[in-house]
Structures are given as C-alpha cells and as structure tokens.
Amino acid sequence: MHAATYVGAKTLTVIEREPELPGFGEAQIEVAYTGICGTDLHILHGDMDARVTMPAVLGHEMSGTIVAVGEGVEDWSAGDLVTVMPLVWDGTCPACRAGYNHICHNLDFLGIDSPGSMQASWTVPQDVLVALPPGLSLERGALPSLPRLQSMTCAALRCVKARRRWLSAADRSAF
C-alpha cells in the first residue's frame, strides 16, 4: 500500500509498506480522507524534527471505514464509518493515575509519535475510534469541523505544552 512519509529536509515521499493487521483491541481502517493540519505543516517545515522519528507517516485528521477488527474489540465492526481522537495515554504514569490523562507523561499523539493516517490502511487502538454521525460524508468527516473532537484534541495539546512550561519540577513529579 502507499504511505506519504516525512523523511526530513522538508521532504515527503510516497513509499510502499505492508498494511498492519489489527492486533488485540485494534481496528484496521481503510483511510478515505486525511486533512493536513498545522501540526503536519510544522513537521514538514522541520520544526519538530527533534520529536518525530523518521521516516514518519503523518496525519491524524481523517475519516475512513473499518475493514477489520482484532480480538477483544467491542462495539466496532467492519463497515463502520469513523474518525479518531488521535491521543493515546498510557494510564500508568503519575498524571494518568491522578486522573489527568490529558497531560500523560507518555502521551502518544498518533501521526506524530507513531504512524498516522497518510496511508491507505491504518491500524489504531479501538479506544481512539469515534463514529461519524449518520449522514455525515467521509469527506466532511475528515475535517476538523467536528467541534467537540477538535476542541478536545487542541485542549489536550495545550495542556501537554503547558505542563512543560509552568509546572515546577516538584509539580511535574506529582503528575
């Protein structure tokens, strides 16, 4: 399958890669549309090279159709139209254990810290799936105009950035 991959030096290249089959608790999505957001542009411009492991499949504003589910997946099946909330927290760090998963010390932002949606097939944890409302097209489902989803993602990113700026070392160790 094709995947648009950031390889550094302000360069995207299309590569061939094998689709990842869903494991336990995961769903495989046939990606229909992927938007390009400001974060993707920051990566392309080289502003996040210290964080992104290259080659990197970018993208997190997307829509698609579930084509397969792994064992343990509940409430999702092939044919469901979805988008994602692209944040995966570990649930084990001090912040998560204190109920502050939005500032998880080990946050995985899909499309930045791990492969994203700029590929034909994308396998993600079932916990990040968001059903598209009935009647909403896949084309519109990829846009960040789903206000609740966008505001949750942006709020989580602001919190992650803020924790690095305003928390003292003692505060950071408590979360």
- Which residue numbers are catalytic? 39, 42
Residues forming beta bridges with residue 122, ordered by sequence position: 29
Give the max Cα distance, the chain.
Answer: 49
Q: How far is CA 98 from CA 19, 66, 104, in A?
A: 36, 33, 10
Q: Are 115 and 109 in contact (CB under 8 A)?
A: no
Q: How far apart are CA 114 and CA 107, in angstroms?
A: 10
Residues forming beta bridges with residue 129, ordered by sequence position: 84
